[in-house]
Amino acid sequence: MSAPEIRRIPAMETRGLRHAVLRPNQPPQMAVYPGDDDADTLHLGAYREGRLVGVASIYREPPPDSLRTTTAWRLRGMAVDKTLQGSGFGAALLRSCMEYAAKQGGTQVWCNARSTASGFYRSLGFSQKGDVFELPGIGPHYFMWRSLESSR
């Protein structure tokens, strides 16, 4: 399979996959996230044969336990078509998000990772902090983070 084509997309284009993959049992408006329209938020799409098959967004947002650092970025809304998960689209999206954050002066990326995806994040250099926690209506998650120093 050829390398995925990754390109910047508007927030609105992320929402179909976000809803289908991440929140299928919730109303579509639950795929609209705070910060989607912030000037420095980046939304990326992964394309295969011209079809959008993956999305990821990265926001300038401090982790919940920090003292308002402006160098942390939050990965959110990462979704790959279920039939293509494990095919490299998610890794390509994540790497592109980390590159963007590093270019903006970011020093770390964090996310609330579904427990089923924690191995994926570990394979890309993320560390887990704390115990599993439940996001109501979504399921078990881990707080995961990664320094961007090693990706520069």
Residue 12 has pLDDT above 70, yes or no: yes
Residue 1 reports pLDDT greater than 60 = no
**Ranges of each domain in the chain:** 5-151
What are 27-44's pLDDT values in tens digits? 999 999 999 999 999 999
Give CA–CA dist 65/67, Å, rounded.
7
pLDDT digits (tens, 9 = 90+) for 105-134: 999 999 999 999 999 999 999 999 999 999
C-alpha distance across the termini of the chain, in Å: 27
Share of the chain above pLDDT 90, in %: 84
Q: What CATH number was assigned to the domain covering residues 5-151?
A: 3.40.630.30
Element (H, E) at 143: strand 139-147
pLDDT interval class at 67 (50, 70, 90) = low
Paired with 56 in beta bridges are: 44
Q: What is the mean pLDDT of the chain?
A: 92
Encoding tokens for residue 16?
């179909």
Return left, alpha or beta for 65; rule: phi > 0 is left, psi -120 to 50 is alpha, else beta. Answer: alpha
